[in-house]
Amino acid sequence: MGALGHYIEREGVPTAQISLIREQTAAIKPPRALWVPFMLGRPFGAPNEPQFQRRVLSALLSLFERSAGPVLEDFPEDAPASGDQESGFACPVSFASMKAEAGGLAHALREEIARLAPWYDLARKRRGRTTVGVFGATVEEAARYVASCLDGATRPPPVAGLSAGLAVKRACDDVKAYYYEAVAAQPGNLAAKAIENWFWRETAAARAFLAIRDICLKSDDESLKPLGRLSLVPRFVADGLAESRHERRKT
């Protein structure tokens, strides 16, 4: 959409877009874009939240007040939590506890992916499609790249010309999409927020993302720094982590 915006503007029609992947939008430099910290597939944050969605739309439309671009602004709010089914959710796959990761975090990530495979295959069969594939052909390829980031030996991205930040973001997006699709295949009508809470609180993948976030924040690579600050880990997770560290320092 960012590239299309350039063509439309050449015909004299102003454009603005919502961005879910900030690094990609920053690379394309569309005329006007609003980055939102929401899960993929939900550009307005959450269903059945008209007041919140109106604020997102108002922020987007306000970009038309800017006559010159490129403009890339950040929406300051997280999506509201869905009130139904946020608790009482048990994943059908038993994962190792956070303190028991024999073989390291990368090994735990690969183990989780293998255990979720039957549920992911079921989800893909039911839907006839998948959102996994923005990085490579398989989630295993994305997981290997994520693991290489943990080891400090990042492999070259599968597409030439990708920045380090965009490659890491795409690989992490593939891994997260795989988890979300797999667990959504469990019987029952799971709320998106319940799945999000499960992912960030209980999986090795989330702990890998948090570790990579710290690496990005300390990196000298300008494409990695915004990834660590803004778009790899949701704000509610990062804020909770900061609060937890503050409490530990006080004690």
Q: What are 84-142's pLDDT values in tens digits? A: 444 444 555 555 544 445 468 888 999 999 999 999 999 899 889 999 999 988 999 99
Q: List the Cα angle 188/191/195 in 5-degree steps.
A: 95
Give 178's pLDDT tier (boundaries 50, 70, 90): very high
CB under 8 A, 24+ apart: contacts of 41-45: 41/131, 42/79, 42/192, 43/18, 44/18, 45/77, 45/78, 45/79, 45/80
Only one residue has tokens 């991205």, namely 157
At residue 153, the pLDDT reads 64
Looking at per-residue pLDDT, the higher value among 215 and 5 belongs to 215
At residue 231, the pLDDT reads 77
Least confident of 144-158, 162-176, 216-230: 144-158
What are 16-37's pLDDT values in tens digits? 999 887 777 888 888 999 988 8
At residue 100, the pLDDT reads 44
Looking at per-residue pLDDT, the higher value among 110 and 185 belongs to 110
Only one residue has tokens 């108002």, namely 58
Percent residues over pLDDT 70 in the chain = 81
Across the chain, mean pLDDT equals 81
Domain borders along the chain are 2-74, 104-238
Percent residues over pLDDT 90 in the chain = 32
Give 158's pLDDT tier (boundaries 50, 70, 90): confident
Looking at per-residue pLDDT, the higher value among 58 and 98 belongs to 58
At residue 28, the pLDDT reads 84
At residue 154, the pLDDT reads 64
What are 134-156's pLDDT values in tens digits? 998 899 999 999 998 887 666 77
Looking at per-residue pLDDT, the higher value among 40 and 92 belongs to 40
Kindly report the pTM of this predicted structure: 0.66
* Parallel, antiparallel or unpaired: strands 71-74 and 17-19: unpaired
pLDDT(64) > 50: yes
Helix ranges restricted to H, the chain: 2-10, 22-28, 50-61, 104-127, 139-151, 164-184, 192-202, 204-218, 225-226, 235-250
